[in-house]
Amino acid sequence: MQGSAYAREEALCIEFDVRAGDVEHGGMASSQIKAALKQFGLSEPVARRAGIIAFEGEMNLIVYSDSGGTIRVCVDSEYIEITVQDFGPGIEDVDLALTPGYSTAPAWATDLGFGAGMGLHNMEKNADRFEIHSRLDEGTTISCWVKRRTDDSS
Amino acid sequence: MILHELARRMDLERLVDSQDATHEIETGYVGDLLSHVLASAKSNSLWITIQRHENVVAVAQVAGLGCIVFAEGMRPEAPVIERARNAGIALYVSPASAFELAGRLHKLLHTEAP
């Protein structure tokens, strides 16, 4: 899997396309994202948080989206911004989807250890700022910001 | 404790060696639900699981877990082994249960550590 890199205003970005149902390559984008952030000089705890957000977003695209989507990661002087976007089916009840343990995962996904109902919660927990917008039949966009420098190592 | 020493004393079969001969294991985590592993496993853990598909390697990379032990003889297929080798994640397998392996690890780390 190859991401495309580009500069956006004062940020460096990398973007990956993720295909729906492509479990075989699940985690490829997020592990490359984490490695790229570390190469960029970010600390392991910060790259780890961004990597976990990217992984959960990536698996959501694979397990739930109709037609896949994109993960974009941009780094500026202060934040890592991770944006995960798909074009359907959308989430009916976002608050419910954010509740730890709630999942609509199909059986094939739970057999593989996905669908614990912790994905969105993990994204929110690892982000300093978290936004989710979803509309039925249109799609879902999740944006997470992780501070490049943190006082703790959690 | 150094991974090589732990693996020998836990009687694990090595599938992929660590790239670091002094690879240090600080603690362990047992789990098969990947989001729980990402949420709860600490960096530098030895991760014991019965999941053996490709995604476990990515989970280990993202969470900073340098070593996966497959319990109950759940031997991964060649592409998983290849992916781990490329990612620098050590892999081991054992016929023992996750309970038994966690017991051995806990004993070594908490009662026999120097």
ipTM score: 0.90
CA distance B62 to chain A (A): 5
What pLDDT is stored for residue A8 in this prediction? 78
Instruction: Answer with the residue of higher pLDDT: A4 or B3.
Output: B3
Interface test with A, best of B36, B55, B68, B83 (most A CBs within 10 A): B55
Q: Domain boundaries in chain A?
A: 4-147
Domain CATH for B77: 3.40.1390.20
Please report the pLDDT score of residue A2 as a whole number. 76
Q: What is the mean pLDDT of residues B36-45?
A: 96
Mean pLDDT rounded to a whole number for chain A: 94
pLDDT band at A1 (very low <50, low <70, confident <90, very high): confident
Q: Which residues of B touch A26 (CB under 8 A)?
A: 54-55, 58
CA distance to partner chain A, nearest, from residue B17 (Å) = 20
Closest by Cβ to B54, choosing from A26, A48, A55 = A26
Residue A122: which of B39, B43, B87 has the nearest Cβ? Answer: B39
The dihedrals phi and psi of A116, each to the nearest 5 degrees, come to -80, -5
Across the interface, which of B43, B55, B64 has its CB nearest the CB of A27?
B55
Nearest to A130 by CA among A62, A79, A75, A67: A79
> Percent of chain A scored above 70 by pLDDT?
97
pLDDT value for A151:
60
Dump pLDDT digits (tens) for A125-154: 999 999 999 999 999 999 999 999 866 544
pLDDT, residue A67, reads 97
Taking the model in full, what pTM does it have?
Answer: 0.93
Integer angstrom CA distances of residue A140 from A118, A134, B4, B47: 17, 4, 45, 32
Neighbours of B21 (CB within 10 A): 9
pLDDT, mean of residues B82-96: 97
| Distance separating alpha carbons of residues A39 and B53, to the nearest angstrom | 27
Confidence label for A84 from pLDDT (cuts 50, 70 and 90): very high
Binned at pLDDT 50, 70 and 90, residue B114 comes out as: low
Put residue A24 in one of left, alpha, beta given phi > 0 → left and psi -120 to 50 → alpha: alpha
Give the mean model confidence (pLDDT) for residues A49-60: 98
- HSE-up of residue A4 (Cα within 13 Å, Cβ side): 5
Copy the structure tokens of residue A47.
Answer: 């790259």
pLDDT of residue B111: 85
Region B81-109 average pLDDT: 97
The residues pairing with A129 across neighbouring beta strands, listed in sequence order, are: A145
B39 touches chain A (CB under 8 A): yes
**Structural domains counted in chain B:** 1
User: At residue A79, what are phi and psi to the nearest 5 degrees?
Assistant: -130, 155
Angle at A18 between CA A17 and CA A23, to 5 degrees: 155
Would you call B58 an interface residue with chain A, using a CB distance cutoff of 8 Å?
Answer: yes
Whether domain A4-147 has CATH 3.30.360.10: the reply is no
Candidates A1, A49, A64, A112: best to mutate against B (most CBs of B within 10 A) is: A112
Domain encompassing residue B58: 3-111
Task: Provide the pairing of β-strand B45-49 with B27-30.
Answer: parallel
